[in-house]
Structure 1
Amino acid sequence: MSGDLAMTALMGSPSLNEATAPDTGIIARATALIPLIEQHAEAGSEQRRVVPEVMRALEEAELLKIMVPRRLGGLGANLRTAMETIAEIGHGDGSTAWAAALLNVCTWFATTFSDQAQEEVFGADPNAHACGIFSPPLKSERVDGGYLVSGRWAYASGSFAATWGTLGIKLDVPEGQNPMALALIPASAWRIEPTWFVAGMKGSGSDTIVVEDHFVPDHRIQSFQDMVEGRYATSHKPDEQNSNMAFIPVAALILVAAQLGLARHAMDVTLAKLPPKNVAYTFYTNARNSTIHQVDVAEAATRFDQAELLMQRATADVDGAAAARVLLDRLTRGRVRMDTGIIGELVKDGIDRLMSANGASSFADANVLSRVWRDSEIAGRHALVMPQVGKEAYGRLLLGADEPLNIDV
């Protein structure tokens, strides 16, 4: 059966509904942790990493292996569940959600590698976690049986908790072929250099991984192009939905899950504190009666709703195609890449409106909205989330431009 026919056969069926629906039980685990996560958010920012108490709670709730197959000790949940779960973590703290997002998605990357590599990662440690960076290193030299790798990978979020890394390297390939690849490298082969001193997402532990002359065997390497086209090395594609998820859409979408949580947090704080607030330099004694404030909050709410709806459509596309065991078509992948940026844009704009509605005091260090705003501004500027690039790619695909895409989708 062709990919289109397989998808058509699955659409509207109970199996598709099950394949794309969120697992509310898993999401509820994250919701239950919001008070703990929020309690330690400021300490995480100060320590530049998620505090041990919160990491233990996430581990015990199994929320760092959401998309890992059950055969490897994971929850085996779909992308929609991962997005909703990480958003709830972000409802408590953006940095914690960002680290959880990267640990979840990079650990999922590891499950698409060769069976031998999967056994080496998860066989001895079912609680293995991977961080990851796509950019290539300084040195990637072909040697007998693999590659000798040295380099620095900056902004490796969650690296403090990772036992492996899915790190970008360059392959020795004929001219004209894409040399990019991902290599599985154990944490024992690297050191972490503290470089994450930034305005937002301070507690995500996005420091720099440094590797010196580490040998990576061929079975721990996957061509980036193979991954983009769904040609994963795992032998489990026939029997596992998540082994068929589209690589770039998953890698991009997961980055806005924290944004959705920040939006929820900002709205909760606003609805709790803004209505009775006096509006300075006006005759309004309660902001709830001020037309300007009503409009600002409504504008923010509808932007957040739009972001949630785009996420739901994108995850349904990814999970539906994976359930049908087909590669999501290129045009839809382009739309998902664009929608990822739009989600980030909508959330940033909505939070900005709430900051204005709440007034200048929102930017005080002691006000939680200040951290939410800073986290959102940083998260929305990740290279995979920048909306302009996604819009260009989707537009080229829609119009059938002569030039090839300048990004992977």
Structure 2
Amino acid sequence: MGHVLDRIMQHADEIRAEGVEGDKIMRLTDTTAKHLRESGIIRTFQPKEFGGFEGHPREAAETVMALGALDGATGWVAGIVGVHPWELAFFDPKAQEEIWGADNDMWMASPYAPMGVAVPVDGGYILNGRWAFSSGTDHCGWVMIGAAVGDKDGNRTGQVLHVVLPRSDYEIDQDSWNVIGLRGTGSKDLIIKDAFIPEHRTLDAEIVLSGNGWRHAGRDETLYKFPFSYIFPLGITSSLIGMTEGALACYIAAQKERVQVTGVPIKEDPYILFAISEAASEISASRLALLETVDRFWDKTDRGEEISFEERAIGRRTQISAAWRAVRAMDEVFARAGGAAVHLKTPMQRFWRDAHVGLTHAIHVPGMIYHSAALTQLGGEPQGAYRAMI
């Protein structure tokens, strides 16, 4: 896995520069996508039998953080697209062969939210709907999405499937992504009309969400026993922390010789020096908290032990608080960056925009997760939605 980060860092300056163009065209540039593909980062969680690395989630997180610090959108796409091979490992081997057989660098987009309806027919389902927020979708040849199972009249039954479709079966709405941050992710809408999904390209979402994907697929590797509720948010939060690290690096580089309008150099302002140290410490704490949970969960899983609901809830609480802490710390230095930081020609404003938009993702919403973590620790039993994504 170390060689993946090495390959990425060989192109660090170019990825950083391409981020400016990606922000304009509202998708990753072809050059950036090429560098990501050649680095192998999307194969991190891919099974070895299909050319994957079956890598440690910590290494994946650190690599995504490094990418996020170069360009937020690039880190984001790598973190999201990079988790899909982990789940595809639970699908019917026929589906895996269809996607990876001819090209083990094939990328899959998402989202998992069941925004469309799949109606059962002989041999599979007919799928219709519109899905928003398909990050990196322009560079993907397949998509893995959530679908509500419908009855013959199309009414939702309550069951949710995760399904995979080739690029020929869906349309990308190129005009659906015009936003203030993470513009380069190209997280556009997908439209699906009467697509036939054969049974082997479907998987009951509950099998994955419950942590039983590895049992269903007959896999015994530690990676595939890892909780979905932590591995899925990991790439997203890692990219977000990387963005705050990138913003901090920009800030420090710009402040070294800066003299304020008062005539006092930044280096001689004790209040700003305090703010820099405090922000750097908070961002560092966010990184370490996220990685510590990954290591602890991995080691316990590797010993064949189950990660309890309480541990998972606390892990999600840690992941969410890491994201919020890092963004708050970034805000403290951005507010002290001076007027130059607001110019679109400077990279700091893009990190700032990207990180704030990244914080709005559903996996960063603290309410129910914080509630469930505390209630469980107090001996309570969260129910219904309060157990979701834990």
- Please indicate the TM-score interval, normalised by the length of the shorter structure: over 0.9
Q: 1:387 aligned to 366, 369, 382, which one?
A: 366
Report whether the alignment pairs 1:156 with 2:156.
no
Q: 1:207 aligned to 188, 207, 226, which one?
A: 188
Q: 1:191 aligned to 161, 171, 174, which one?
A: 171
Report whether the alignment pairs 1:40 with 2:3.
no
| Gapped regions of structure 1 (runs ≥ 5) | 1-22
Q: CA deviation at 1:221?
A: 1.6
CA offsets per residue over residues 5-55 of structure 1, 9 Å max, x none? xxxxxxxxxxxxxxxxxx433333333332111011110111111111111
Query: Does the Cα contact within 8 Å between 1:30 and 1:86 map onto a contact in 2?
Result: no
1:17 matched residue in structure 2: none
Cα distance in 1, alignment partners of residues 356 and 244 from structure 2: 12
Q: CA deviation at 1:270?
A: 2.0
How many residues align? The count is 383
1:105 matched residue in structure 2: 83
* TM-score (structure 2 length as normaliser): 0.92
Q: How does 1:233-312 map to 2 (within 5 A)?
A: 235-238=217-220, 240-280=221-261, 282-284=262-264, 286-312=265-291
Q: CA deviation at 1:294?
A: 0.9
Q: CA deviation at 1:158?
A: 0.9
Q: Specify the code of the residue in structure 2 equivalent to 1:193.
A: D
Query: Does the Cα contact within 8 Å between 1:110 and 1:130 map onto a contact in 2?
Result: no
Coordinate RMSD, CA, aligned? 2.1
CA offsets per residue over residues 133-188 of structure 1, 9 Å max, x none? 12213332122222211111100001111121110012369xxx951221112221
Cα distance in 2, alignment partners of residues 180 and 327 from structure 1: 25
- Residue 35 of structure 1 aligns to a residue whose secondary structure is helix
Range with greater deviation from structure 2 (125-134 or 386-395): 386-395
CA offsets per residue over residues 27-84 of structure 1, 9 Å max, x none? 3333333211101111011111111111111111112221112211122211111111
Query: Does the Cα contact within 8 Å between 2:165 and 2:197 map onto a contact in 1?
Result: yes
Distance change (3 Å), C-alpha of 1:292 and 1:200: same
Report whether the alignment pairs 1:347 with 2:329.
no
Cα distance in 2, alignment partners of residues 231 and 178 from structure 1: 19
* TM-score (structure 1 length as normaliser): 0.88
Report whether the alignment pairs 1:318 with 2:300.
no
Q: Specify the code of the residue in structure 2 equivalent to 1:331.
A: E
Q: CA deviation at 1:217?
A: 2.0
Distance change (3 Å), C-alpha of 1:113 and 1:322: farther
Query: Does the Cα contact within 8 Å between 1:338 and 1:389 map onto a contact in 2?
Result: no
Cα distance in 1, alignment partners of residues 361 and 321 from structure 2: 13
Cα distance in 1, alignment partners of residues 279 and 146 from structure 2: 38
Q: CA deviation at 1:318?
A: 3.4
Query: Does the Cα contact within 8 Å between 1:137 and 1:150 map onto a contact in 2?
Result: no
Q: CA deviation at 1:189?
A: 0.5
Cα distance in 2, alignment partners of residues 189 and 326 from structure 1: 41
Q: How does 1:70-109 map to 2 (within 5 A)?
A: 70-109=48-87
Query: Does the Cα contact within 8 Å between 1:69 and 1:242 map onto a contact in 2?
Result: no
Q: Specify the code of the residue in structure 2 equivalent to 1:97.
A: G
2:115 matched residue in structure 1: 137
Distance change (3 Å), C-alpha of 1:149 and 1:317: farther
Cα distance in 2, alignment partners of residues 86 and 319 from structure 1: 18
Cα distance in 2, alignment partners of residues 40 and 360 from structure 1: 24
Report whether the alignment pairs 1:226 with 2:207.
yes
- Residue 114 of structure 2 aligns to a residue whose secondary structure is coil
Query: Does the Cα contact within 8 Å between 1:229 and 1:327 map onto a contact in 2?
Result: no
Sequence identity percentage: 22
Query: Does the Cα contact within 8 Å between 2:79 and 2:234 map onto a contact in 1?
Result: no
Query: Does the Cα contact within 8 Å between 1:260 and 1:307 map onto a contact in 2?
Result: yes
Q: Specify the code of the residue in structure 2 equivalent to 1:375.
A: D
Cα distance in 1, alignment partners of residues 222 and 10 from structure 2: 28
1:329 matched residue in structure 2: 308
Q: CA deviation at 1:290?
A: 0.5
Q: Specify the code of the residue in structure 1 equivalent to 2:201.
A: R
Range with greater deviation from structure 2 (162-171 or 40-49): 162-171
Cα distance in 2, alignment partners of residues 392 and 185 from structure 1: 36
Q: CA deviation at 1:236?
A: 4.8
| Gapped regions of structure 2 (runs ≥ 5) | 152-156
1:180 matched residue in structure 2: 160
Distance change (3 Å), C-alpha of 1:178 and 1:397: farther
Cα distance in 2, alignment partners of residues 82 and 178 from structure 1: 34
- Residue 171 of structure 1 aligns to a residue whose secondary structure is strand
Report whether the alignment pairs 1:65 with 2:43.
yes
